[in-house]
Structure 1
Amino acid sequence: MLSTIGIPGLILILIIALVIFGPKKLPELGRATGETLKEFKNSTRELTEDTTEEIKEVEVVSPKQK
């Protein structure tokens, strides 16, 4: 989806954001967005690791019979 925007679209979005939020508020919004994405990524990674560990524990307790 992001590949269909292109460079001119990204520049337009940046200019609109700059006009709406102003040059002082824009870096704060970018930082907050980055931190939110970082937290989401870490939470997703932890959830995936927990699920993988639980699957391994179940396989150890009751191995598949061939």
Structure 2
Amino acid sequence: MLSETHIILVVLLIALIFGAKKLPEIGAGLGKGIKNFKSSIKDAKENEEEHEKIENKENKQ
């Protein structure tokens, strides 16, 4: 597990590499990517459930 000092060092290294002005843009991009990923997983699960319901109805007939 990372200690607080390790986390601070990683953040400082990232700030040095990308620059302080780019960090909010990188964070926003990461947030959007995670949001889209979660949304696509949710949609896939909903589609799978609908498909299973349709199959169950067809099998009953």
Take 1:7 and 1:61, find their aligned partners in 2: how far apart are those partners?
Answer: 57
The residue type equivalent to 1:55 in the other structure is E
How many pairs are equivalent? 60
Of 34, 53, 56, the residue aligned with 1:56 is 53
Q: How far did residue 51 of structure 1 move? A: 0.6
RMSD: 1.2
The residue type equivalent to 2:2 in the other structure is I
Take 2:48 and 2:29, find their aligned partners in 1: how far apart are those partners?
Answer: 29
2:23 aligns with 26
> Structure 1: which 4+ aligned runs deviate by more than 4 Å?
none
The residue type equivalent to 1:46 in the other structure is D
Moved more, 44-53 or 8-17: 8-17
Q: How far did residue 7 of structure 1 move? A: 2.4
Task: Extract unaligned runs of 5+ from structure 1.
Answer: none
Q: How far did residue 56 of structure 1 move? A: 1.2
Identity of aligned residues (%): 32
TM-score by length of 1: 0.80
